[in-house]
Amino acid sequence: MCKPILKWVGGKRQLMADLKRLMPKKYNRYFEPFIGGGALFFELKPQNAFINDYNSELTNLYTIVRDKPEELIESVCKHKNESEYYYNIRALDRDKKVFKSLTNIEKASRFIYLNKVGFNGLYRVNSQGQCNVPFGRYSKPSYCDPDNIRACSELLKNTEISTGDFDLIKDKVQEGDLVYLDPPYVPLNATSSFTGYTDKGFDEDMQLRLRELCDHIDEKGAYFMLSNSYTDYILELYDVEGYKIHTVKADRSINSKASGRGKVKEVIVTNY
């Protein structure tokens, strides 16, 4: 029984009961164009799926897990839980020629290792795309997990993996399919332009494009389920006839202020 391979900020494990409760009882193909850590995907274990992400390091990892699990296991289990070693592996992306020389298996192995051994299970990059998470000092981080990699490889055998913009699913979604959308959330204290929300610029225009994608999915006769923050902007954006806005609560602990931690309201929008 495979479980998520990575820890992921904003992951949906804590909302799993709500997501499963709000899903349609039957659907055809499963789509997730913002796969991230894939908590819902690995929970549902769909037999026919399409996953995508803008992060090429992430989609490379899932591709290697699917196609070359034994080579990945051999590579990732060679890593060491040592501070100096960690920073040497982290520094590989400081030199573009060195990083480019790594094989896709080595890149996938590095991704898992840094995610599991780095502080707080993060994988964060700076504006140059360089990992900058400090060493986590865990006694037994779980980066070497052959059984889970093999189990996830079997699941991913029936999964198409893509890298790019979320809009690329438009021509693939058919009547009766299910699309789960978990985009970068609108920040709770955002300005009207959402300036600087992410280094990839997931701003107001992107949120509008995403709503248009939801309309397209609805017109196709397919289902969509979308997660986002509980803000006036999102409530107004999805105040559409036939769309339902469900309010749920999630534990969020990454806010620097204590008052911003704990149970936070989020929304799940569906067209059914």
Burial class, 253, CB count within 10 angstroms (exposed 0-12 / middle 13-18 / buried 19+): exposed
DSSP, collapsed to helix, strand or coil, labels residue 265 as strand
- Torsion, Cα 137 5 123 159, to 10 degrees, reads 170
Sheet containing strand 49-53, edge to edge, reads 159-163, 49-53, 30-32, 178-181, 223-229, 262-270, 244-252
**Is 12 marked within a binding site?**
yes
Burial class, 153, CB count within 10 angstroms (exposed 0-12 / middle 13-18 / buried 19+): buried
**Is 147 marked within a binding site?**
no
**Is 45 marked within a binding site?**
no
**Is 182 marked within a binding site?**
yes
Count of beta carbons in the 10 Å neighbourhood of residue 179? 26
Which positions make up the binding site for S-adenosyl-L-methionine? 8, 12, 53, 182
Which positions make up the binding site? 8, 12, 53, 182
